[in-house]
């Protein structure tokens, strides 16, 4: 059978869950490369990030989403509202939902995510992640039965996104729900995001990994220059913080911290882009940007 005669399926799959359960790690594992940034800090993902995998006649369009979280006194800024809206918007018109939870832990935020899924008509697959870190494997089966009673899931699959355990089983379950249809993207395309977007995200990832315990979430990255030549990609990135003290922490003594962040980000960019990268980083204080809807839109936090 030629590829043209092969039955084609194509569908959108939303990956949802509370912060820090491994949504981005799962998508990167499925795609076999880094598209979504990761760190141990909650709310690392701020945007919907699309990852596309085409295998034979099937095209999976995964949508990685920000962690759905309960608004509270310290999570009541415009950027928090944006992240929750971005995650909820991803549930519209999808063909399947992968709802991720962390081992045998069930929190109020997991319950809040489940509540948001009440009116979703698409089949929902529950992925129980990080099972490699369970101390007593005997706890797993009773827990799967308990959590399965919370609602009717299309399937429940224990996985380890980090190590790839049973991720192929999860993909097989997702494949059952892809409708017949032509592929929306070329077979070799892996994301809808630009290299400019990925560059900003890689810088932000390195900041969060190196300074997650010291630097609050009021930090973002704006690409001011992205210029490709035959041999080198020239990138200038502006890291925005809200207070002068945060700027001092980010630069570090004698500029060592910002140099380390730049070095790690540049190496990741070179691997991702397949070219040499000349990266310049700057730090600027922009007070109140994370609670200013107009500023957020200008920085690319726009649901449109």
State the CB neighbour count (10 A cutoff) for residue 163. Answer: 12
Residue 241 and residue 74: Cα distance in Å, rounded?
17
Alpha helices in 117-255 (DSSP H): 140-148, 167-175, 195-211, 244-251
Give 186's contacts (C-beta < 8 A, 6+ positions apart). none
Establish whether 252 is an annotated binding residue. no
Write out pLDDT tens, residues 145-174: 999 999 999 999 999 999 999 999 999 999
- Range of lowest pLDDT (10-24, 77-91, 224-238): 77-91
pLDDT of residue 187: 92
Annotated binding residue 24: yes
Beta bridge partners of 279: 235
Whether 265 has a pLDDT exceeding 80, the answer reads yes
List the structure tokens of 144: 């799967």
Pairing of the two strands 58-64 and 49-55 = antiparallel
Q: Is the pLDDT of residue 304 over 80?
A: no
The answer to the question of whether 129 is labelled as a binding residue is yes
Structure tokens at 103: 């081992």
Q: Is 21 annotated as a binding residue?
A: yes
pTM value is 0.82
Q: How many Cβ atoms sit within 10 Å of the Cβ of residue 123?
A: 17
Asked whether 219 and 244 are in contact (CB, 8 A), the reply is no
What is the gyration radius of the CA atoms in the chain, in angstroms? 20
| Rounded (5°) CA angle 86-100-221 | 40
pLDDT (0 to 100) of residue 215: 73
Known binder of ligand: residue 131? yes
- State residue 76's pLDDT score: 55
Say if residue 28 carries a ligand binding annotation: no
What would the two tokens of residue 69 be? 């979280």
Copy the structure tokens of residue 285: 């204080």
End-to-end CA distance of the chain: 41
Is 17 marked as a binding-site residue? yes
Is it the case that residue 66 has pLDDT exceeding 60?
A: yes
DSSP reduced 3-state for 210: helix
**Residue 88 marked in a binding site:** no
């Amino acid at each position: 059978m030629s590829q043209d005669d092969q039955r084609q399926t194509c569908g959108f799959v939303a990956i949802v869950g509370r912060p820090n359960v491994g949504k981005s790690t799962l998508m990167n594992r499925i795609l076999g490369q880094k598209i979504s940034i990761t760190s141990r800090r909650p709310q690392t993902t701020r945007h919907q990030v699309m990852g596309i995998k085409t295998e034979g006649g099937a095209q999976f369009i995964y949508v990685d989403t920000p962690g759905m979280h309960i608004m509270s006194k310290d999570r009541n800024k415009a950027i928090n509202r944006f992240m929750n809206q971005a995650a909820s918007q991803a549930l519209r018109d999808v063909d399947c939902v992968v709802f991720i939870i962390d081992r045998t832990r069930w929190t109020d935020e997991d319950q809040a995510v489940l509540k948001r899924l009440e009116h979703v008509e698409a089949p929902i697959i529950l992925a129980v992640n990080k099972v490699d870190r369970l101390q007593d494997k005997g706890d797993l089966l009773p827990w799967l039965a308990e959590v399965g009673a919370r609602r009717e899931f299309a399937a429940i699959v224990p996985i380890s996104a980090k190590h790839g355990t049973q991720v192929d089983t999860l993909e097989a379950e997702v494949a059952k729900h892809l409708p017949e249809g032509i592929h929306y993207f070329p077979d070799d395309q892996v994301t809808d995001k630009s290299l400019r977007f990925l560059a900003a995200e890689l810088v932000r990832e390195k900041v969060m990994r190196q300074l997650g315990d010291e630097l609050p979430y009021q930090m973002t990255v704006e690409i001011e220059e992205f210029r490709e030549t035959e041999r080198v990609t020239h990138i200038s990135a502006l890291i925005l913080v809200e207070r002068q003290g945060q700027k001092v922490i980010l630069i570090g003594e004698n500029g060592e911290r910002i140099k380390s962040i730049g070095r790690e980000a540049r190496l990741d960019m070179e691997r991702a882009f397949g070219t040499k990268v000349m990266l310049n980083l700057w730090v600027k204080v922009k007070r109140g940007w994370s609670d200013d809807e107009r500023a957020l839109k200008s920085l690319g936090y726009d649901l449109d």
